[in-house]
Chain A
Amino acid sequence: MVEILNVSNLSTAFQSDYGSKQALKNISFKINEGEVLALVGESGSGKTVTSLSIMGLLPNNAYIQEGNINLIDKKNNQVNILKLTDEKHNLIRGNDISMVFQEPMTCLNPTMTIGDQIVEVILNHKKISKTKAFKEMIELLGLVEIPDPTQRAREYPHQLSGGMRQRVMISIALACTPKLIIADEPTSALDVTIQAQLLQLLMKLKNSIVSKTSILFITHDLGIVRELADRVIVMYQGEIVEEGKVKDVFDNPKHSYTRNLIQSLPEFKLEERKLTKKDDNKQTKVDDNEIILKIENLFKEFPVEKGFFKESNETVKAVQNISLNVKKNEVLGLVGESGSGKSTLGKSIIKLLQPSRGKIYFNNENISEYSNKQMIKIRQKMQMIFQDPFASLNPRKNILDTLIEPILVHDLMKKNEAINYIKEIINDVGLPIESLRRFPHEFSGGQRQRIGIARALVLKPEFIVADEPVSALDVSIQAQVLNLLEKLKKTYNLTMIFISHDLSVIEFFCDKVAVMYLGHVVEIAPVSKLFNSPKHSYTRALLSAVPKVKGKDKEKILIKGDIPSPINPPSGCVFRTRCPNPGIDCKGGNIEMGLIEVEPGHWVDQCCANCN
């Protein structure tokens, strides 16, 4: 095996007003030709700093203390990257080593066409004419499977979807057939279905045209590591704690951190939970008779802004004809890609958004037409936990003020009583009492989410909508917060709607799941039924798209393309344009949407129910 990159004793630190902070502590590793090396770890573990050190793109306040990074370049010379001037390094960047970044939305220049951005890197490193570079660019766009490349090349990044932009990034990285591609969380910001498409594309390219190129794949997702990588390096607080063949590390993790990391995955938690299922049943009992929330034919449409004088008649059809009910103490999961309308549905239910049509019964009371004033009383009973705990807390209020406000607004208790009560709650969510005097920026992400949960609990609600409460958190923190929610659900007797795009979290936490696609619910079933025998093709594709750490690799069901525009959704079954196995009828869009019960409690959209 030929070694192409050798990192030895690399230490990097950040300089700040408070002194310097070590980000990488003496790390050494090497990458062989043509191999896929995964770098895993949580945020702050030093993965990205490693990649930026190799690229020479560290921010100004970071500096390399010691170490060597030796690269065998295209001319077979060994160069120590760290000794290069910026001008010399520019000959290597984009040519010998290229990079794919995490944020597809922001990493392309908004004022240049994507064609220009690809041509730029080609002309920068190859001595060829503009027309030839243009030809190469079109070829590259074809390679990354962007439809209609000549047309797309003239478009600007904002005209492309996230998945398409990431394909453009990949084509930029491929343009000069580099020795090494560093992919820093390239799919983390994308939906699972798009992620599956991209990973498959990456592997296809890896196995065909750039077979000699090595990939350094940085990710926090162990499932992806398992599917893609040959070797894996686990990082923790700036150090390499474990290194080895993927299979060895996963089957037989040596370091306790690796073991914890693997065990805190929801798929593993699920197994534990299955083992203890018996006590579980005792504690959470879904009351079959008492329906706490009932939604009938709910619609939410947003008018498309058109301008100053004209009202547009186009609407974004965010929620379409949804009927659901949630029983007491039940947790209903809402799952779907971004843009499927999950959050809009959640907000419409507690009337943070006024639904366009349809009825919402809360404890048999029709609240759909209630004014904001009338809602004030109901809001005590219905609360929401938001996705971004930082953005949803007022930065200028300390935690006590944030938590006490709703109690005083609703005039539930006197101030002294309220303070004592809040101390209890803050204790329940696992935070020290001293935190009450502190401000949101003084907490970590996980702690902030605990505050968000406490804020939702202070009014003693019966019903909570949790909108992606753990998706901004690291895996191990995610597990802690989920366990907390699980505990609180019992102590506070909660009924919940739990919105998430992460299927394993849903499987871990929910009793019943509704799968949403383009504003419609396409399947509802108890959690075990849905995960073991999904009926809708979309559910199947979604389930198969998730990279799993355990279990055998199954043939993936890939769905093509992006989610269509909710302004002009396809007629009939909205999923038919991406369906992997559409029937003759649904292709023409002749079948109306509507759920039918295939088994007791298992409802599927009739289009797919008939196909299969």
Chain B
Amino acid sequence: MNFFIKKLLIVIPTLYIAWTVVFVTLNIIPGDPVNLMLGGRPASDEVRENVRKNLGLDKPVFERYTSFLINATKGDLGKSYLTRQPVTTMIKENMMPTIELSIGGLIFGVFFGVFFGIFAGTKPNSMRDTFSMIIALCGISLPSFWIGMMLIYIFGTTLGWVPIVGEGFVSLILPSITVGLFFAGGMARLTRSSLVDVLNQDYIRTARSKGISKYRIVLRHSLRNAMIPPVTLLGIQFGLLITGAVITEEVFARPGLGQLLLQAILAKDIPLVQALVVYMTAVYIFLNLIVDFTYGIIDPRIRLERNRG
């Protein structure tokens, strides 16, 4: 457990650095949030001054920085400049759609990624290997707005199998495939190369010398040993997804954290951006922790090292 406590302690400095970077960049880049709030309408100096005061922007930069940090430690991440709502509420509202989409993408991606990875890796340099890898390459390289629109066109408009907009599970299918394809491509390639590597190991030859069937060799002896690189990728990609898949959300007109972040940055809504960064950093660290934990399940050698530590 020691190991995980150490990992958790790293959250604090990481968050601090992330906040500071966001704060500094948003204050350096040109553009006045007051202007944006007024929506470009002309206003008297008095009105502008009022808005500025309301937002707390009349205070010196350093004071804003410290007061933000102090409030943050109390759990108050501030109010959005734009909507005057507490940012935590805004994030909560947008979080669920994003999580749904991420999990949908994850399931689709892992299933097809691992499947094609095994399909290709068990017979390298064959026709089926080339075929699988071409599909994987498509998954990685085709832009998701194109995939999204094609899916809508084919399955939504032409065939009419799934609704394009709406609520619930069915409406999740097409967006999940869209984000999942990218996922699956990476997973397939990594699973394949890792599996090819493992199948050349001495212990696979030992297993074959025992007269074990090739299915058992792949499933029981190889897959687990080959899973470390794909799991690492999984952590990174899932992190990307859960912080919002902006383009996919846009194409399918779904609410989500990606959309929220985009709007917040454009409006120079500093509290909202900061809060989103806090959320994303925390999610990343948490996912990394899960990935690290999974390593231990996969490989007993890593488990042992930790127990010693």
Contact = CB atoms under 8 A, between A and B. Distances in A.
A57 B200 CA distance: 12
A111 B6 contact: no
A172 B210 CA distance: 8
Contacts of A158: 300-301, 304
A112 interface: yes
Interface stretch (B40-48, B142-150, B179-187, B201-209): B201-209
B202 A101 contact: yes
Contact of A106 (B3, B203, B213, B299): B203
Given A101-B205, A120-B210, A124-B210, A109 B221 contact: yes
Given A101-B205, A111-B225, A111-B298, A125 B309 contact: no
Contacts of B84: none
Interface residues of B, number: 27
A90 interface: yes
B39 interface: no
Contacts of A110: 203, 225, 299-301
Nearest to B222: A109
Nearest to A110: B301
B308 interface: yes
15 contacts: A57-B208, A91-B211, A93-B211, A94-B210, A98-B209, A99-B206, A99-B209, A106-B202, A109-B221, A110-B225, A110-B299, A121-B211, A124-B212, A158-B304, A307-B2
Interface string B285-309: 0000000000000111100100011
A95 interface: yes
Contacts of A101: 202, 205-206, 209
Contact of B207 (A103, A109, A125): A109
Given A107-B203, A109-B203, A306-B308, A92 B211 contact: yes
Interface in A306-348: 306-309
Nearest to B212: A124
A158 B299 CA distance: 11
B64 interface: no
Contacts, number: 84
A157 to B, nearest CB: 8
Contacts of B207: 109
Interface of B: 2-3, 6, 201-203, 205-214, 220-221, 224-225, 298-301, 304, 308-309
A169 B298 CA distance: 23
A307 B203 contact: no
Interface in A67-105: 86-87, 89-95, 98-99, 101, 103
B211 A94 contact: yes
Sorted nearest first, the 3 A-B pairs with minimum C-beta distance are A93-B211, A94-B210, A94-B211
B304 to A, nearest CB: 7
B1 to A, nearest CB: 13
A103 B209 contact: no
Contacts of B201: 106
A101 B201 CA distance: 12
A92 to B, nearest CB: 7
B209 A156 contact: no
A188 to B, nearest CB: 14
Contacts of A169: 206
A394 to B, nearest CB: 25
Q: Which of A57, A93, A111, A158 lies at the interface centre, i.e. has the most chain B CB atoms within 10 A of its CB?
A: A111
B221 A112 contact: yes
Contacts of A112: 220-221
Nearest to B6: A308
B92 to A, nearest CB: 34
Contacts of A111: 224-225, 298-300
A108 interface: yes
Interface secondary structure of B, over-half rule: helix
Contacts of A125: 211
Contacts of A107: 202-203, 205-206
A95 B212 CA distance: 11
Contacts of A120: 210, 212, 220
A309 B3 CA distance: 10
Q: Which of B2, B203, B212, B298 lies at the interface centre, i.e. has the most chain A CB atoms within 10 A of its CB?
A: B203
A159 interface: yes
B209 A159 contact: no
A524 interface: no
Contacts of A98: 209-210
Nearest to A90: B211
Contacts of A99: 206, 209
Interface in A283-322: 306-309
Given A90-B211, A121-B211, A124-B212, A108 B203 contact: yes
A114 B225 CA distance: 15
Given A158-B304, A307-B6, A109 B225 contact: yes
Given A86-B214, A158-B301, A109 B206 contact: yes
A94 B216 CA distance: 15
Given A101-B202, A106-B203, A121-B210, 17 more contacts: A57-B205, A57-B208, A57-B209, A89-B211, A92-B211, A94-B210, A94-B212, A106-B202, A109-B221, A110-B301, A111-B299, A112-B220, A120-B212, A158-B304, A169-B206, A307-B2, A307-B309
A240 interface: no
Nearest to B200: A59
Contacts of A124: 210-212
A91 B207 CA distance: 13
A49 interface: no
Contacts of B309: 306-307
A55 B209 CA distance: 7
A124 B216 CA distance: 11
Contacts of B211: 89-95, 121, 124-125
Nearest to B207: A109
Nearest to A103: B202
Q: Which of B3, B207, B210 lies at the interface centre, i.e. has the most chain A CB atoms within 10 A of its CB?
A: B210
Contacts of B224: 111
A587 to B, nearest CB: 31
Contacts of A57: 205, 208-209
A222 B205 CA distance: 27
A156 B214 contact: no
Contacts of B2: 307
A125 B299 CA distance: 28
B224 to A, nearest CB: 5
A596 B300 CA distance: 46
Contacts of A86: 214
A590 to B, nearest CB: 31
Nearest to B3: A307
Contact of B206 (A92, A108, A156, A308): A108
A305 to B, nearest CB: 9
Nearest to A158: B301
Nearest to A308: B6
A111 B298 CA distance: 7
Contacts of A306: 308-309
A95 B298 CA distance: 30
Nearest to A122: B210
A159 B301 CA distance: 9
A174 to B, nearest CB: 12
Contacts of B301: 110, 156, 158
Q: Which of A93, A107, A158, A309 lies at the interface centre, i.e. has the most chain B CB atoms within 10 A of its CB?
A: A107
B112 to A, nearest CB: 24
Interface in A413-427: none
B204 to A, nearest CB: 8
A111 B302 CA distance: 10
Interface string A589-603: 000000000000000
A118 to B, nearest CB: 10
Contacts of B299: 110-111
A98 B208 CA distance: 10
A129 to B, nearest CB: 19
A520 to B, nearest CB: 26
A90 B209 contact: no
Nearest to A309: B6
B202 A90 contact: no
